[in-house]
A and B are shown apart, each in its own frame.
Chain A
């Protein structure tokens, strides 16, 4: 079931990439999708992590949130670089608890931390994530745990 819907998705991707809808190219597309599915199956990469169907409904909200965070954090880092109205950098290494239940949730959280400039995930453990922050303010904001509730994770693993 999962494989079939993944195949449909890949075929849609093929059609959009190609932009040609002649029977020849569509059948080549079908062969390509079949080959991709076969190899992906051999590699064992199709599972709930690579293909989080159950999380799709949560992504738009998360996406809007992360975009806003990226813009805000960017302004902060740009201020630091240009030294306009900043207190100077104060690099910190902090350890945060990791409430996410699944590997996917953990990875999304860690990547969200990295995506917002000013903080970089250094180490990811089962229960903790080590973060290098550019400023104390950035570290404090992460410690408040506001981002972690936004991560689409709760539904994972059923």
Chain B
């Protein structure tokens, strides 16, 4: 039962990663791509680490996985923010407004 759950988590996590990877190629400008990268960085990592945690069971390994998770939980939004902040200060203007499926992204 736990095995099935952990495989589902790992599978969904991996899939999310790939979708995020597609996202950083489909979105039109830097800021929107940052959102796609953010997707994979957060939920994908959470799901995969949780799935691995179920595999590891209640042990020191699970604690280390938890530590990695905590670390990513702190650093990944911080890095995203630092990137966005630096880009904005560097004078990179975001594309704004609704882009109604012009097909070219």
Q: Do A and B bind each other?
A: yes
Footprint of B on A, CB under 8 Å?
A: 16-17, 19, 67, 70-71, 74, 77-78, 80-83, 87-93, 110-112, 114-115, 117-124, 132, 134, 136
B43 in complex: contacting residue of A70, A93, A123, A132, CB < 8 Å: A70
Contact residues in B for A70 (Cβ distance below 8 Å): 42-43, 46
Nearest 4 pairs between A and B by C-beta?
A: A114-B77, A90-B98, A81-B23, A117-B39
Contact residues in A for B34 (Cβ distance below 8 Å): 120, 132
Q: Which residue of chain B is the closest to A131 with respect to CB atoms?
A: B84
Q: Are B101 and A81 in contact (CB under 8 A)?
A: no
Footprint of A on B, CB under 8 Å?
A: 16, 19-20, 22-23, 26-29, 31-32, 34-36, 38-39, 42-43, 46, 60, 63-64, 67, 73-74, 76-78, 80-81, 84-85, 88, 94-101
- A80 CB, min distance to chain B CBs, angstroms: 8
- Complex Cα spacing A91 to B34, Å: 12
Q: Which residue of chain B is the closest to A114 with respect to CB atoms?
A: B77
Contact residues in B for A74 (Cβ distance below 8 Å): 16, 39, 42-43
A89 in complex: contacting residue of B32, B74, B77, B80, CB < 8 Å: B32
Known contacts A90-B99, A91-B97, A114-B80, A77 near B85 by CB under 8 Å:
no
- B84 CB, min distance to chain A CBs, angstroms: 5
- Complex Cα spacing A136 to B59, Å: 44
Contact residues in A for B73 (Cβ distance below 8 Å): 115
Contact residues in A for B96 (Cβ distance below 8 Å): 91-93
Q: Which residue of chain B is the closest to A63 with respect to CB atoms?
A: B73
Contact residues in B for A88 (Cβ distance below 8 Å): 98-101
- B51 CB, min distance to chain A CBs, angstroms: 15
Q: Are B35 and A120 in contact (CB under 8 A)?
A: yes
- Complex Cα spacing A147 to B27, Å: 26
- Complex Cα spacing A132 to B77, Å: 14
Q: Are B38 and A78 in contact (CB under 8 A)?
A: no
Q: Are B39 and A136 in contact (CB under 8 A)?
A: no
Q: Are B26 and A120 in contact (CB under 8 A)?
A: no
- B3 CB, min distance to chain A CBs, angstroms: 22
A17 in complex: contacting residue of B35, B64, B88, B101, CB < 8 Å: B64
Can you list 16 contacts pairing A with B, beta carbon distance less than 8 Å? Answer: A17-B63, A77-B38, A78-B39, A81-B36, A81-B39, A89-B99, A111-B74, A114-B38, A114-B77, A115-B42, A117-B35, A120-B34, A120-B84, A121-B85, A122-B81, A122-B88
